[in-house]
Amino acid sequence: GAGVSQSPSNKVTEKGKDVELRCDPISGHTALYWYRQSLGQGLEFLIYFQGNSAPDKSGLPSDRFSAERTGGSVSTLTIQRTQQEDSAVYLCASSLAGLADTGELFFGEGSRLTVL
Amino acid sequence: AQSVTQLGSHVSVSEGALVLLRCNYSSSVPPYLFWYVQYPNQGLQLLLKYTSAATLVKGINGFEAEFKKSETSVHLTKPSAHMSDAAEYFCAGRAAGNKLTFGGGTRVLVKP
């Protein structure tokens, strides 16, 4: 597609439920990133994919968080047993070849998660 | 470890006045630094990137940034603020590997 697409744009869930957030990167972009943006917290790195592998998962806050990428394209971020502190905007970004060059990240508009 | 610090979470400027947003980075950062802008209810958009080719980099919408290695800073400026500049601005740096680390963001309010 023309840009990075994320769905759902808004998700309200109850504490303890599982949620899945989807990211469809720009066609041809091999690198994909997930960030979390909490109110007043800036952007927090979660995970980075190069192709289907995730060489850097260092930002995942707990084992309730997981992500996968299939076919070198779409990625899904899964949060199990959601907690209220998981409420945030989850941003996905893609880039042509990671940041090995000076490539910029292209961001989607985010998925706003609210855990009641 | 890599870190990027933005000074001031909120900045208020009058329309037509200078916009100055401050960003400092840790000395361990490779010289790839970025400024992104986030307009209300939108994703982040690249404003400019510094890649060590020049100390002064021009970006979109009249913004520019000057890289000062001696001060480990890459402050963002615009000579004359416009109402449309009201947004949140993020400084970011590339750490080891491929992770882009962001500062906490500075929200700009433009007064008429």
Q: What percent of chain A has pLDDT over 90?
A: 68
In the prediction, which pLDDT does B27 show?
67
- The reported pLDDT for the residue numbered B28 is 67
Mean pLDDT of B6-19: 95
Q: Which pLDDT score is estimated for A54?
A: 85
Contact check, Cβ <8 Å, A108/B43: yes
- What percent of chain B clears pLDDT 70, i.e. is strictly above it? 88
Closest among A110, A98, A111 to A29, alpha carbons compared: A98
Task: Tell me the chain B residues in contact with residue A55 when contact means C-beta distances shorter than 8 Å.
Answer: 97-98
Backbone angles phi, psi at B31, to 5 degrees: -80, 45
Q: Do A105 and B99 touch (CB under 8 A)?
A: no
Other beta carbons less than 10 A from residue B107's beta carbon: 15
Q: What is the pLDDT of residues B72-95, one digit of tens each?
A: 889 999 999 999 999 999 999 886
Of A45, A91, A102, nearest to B49 by CB-CB distance is: A102
Asked if residue B107 has pLDDT above 90, the reply is yes
pLDDT tens string A60-78 = 999 999 999 988 899 999 9
Residues A106-114: what's their mean pLDDT?
A: 94
- Per DSSP, the residues of A30-66 read -EEEEEEEETTTEEEEEEEEETTEEEE-TT--STTEE
Distance, CA of A94 to CA of B1 (rounded, Å): 23
Mean pLDDT of A42-68: 90
Do A104 and A95 contact (CB within 8 A), yes or no?
Answer: yes
Residues A11/A113, Cβ–Cβ less than 8 Å: yes
Closest partner residue to B43 (CB to CB) among A55, A58, A107 is: A107
The tens digit of pLDDT for each residue in A8-26 reads 999 999 999 999 999 999 9
Count, residues in chain B: 112
User: Best interface-test mutation with A: which of B100, B101, B102, B106 has the largest number of A CBs within 10 A?
Assistant: B100
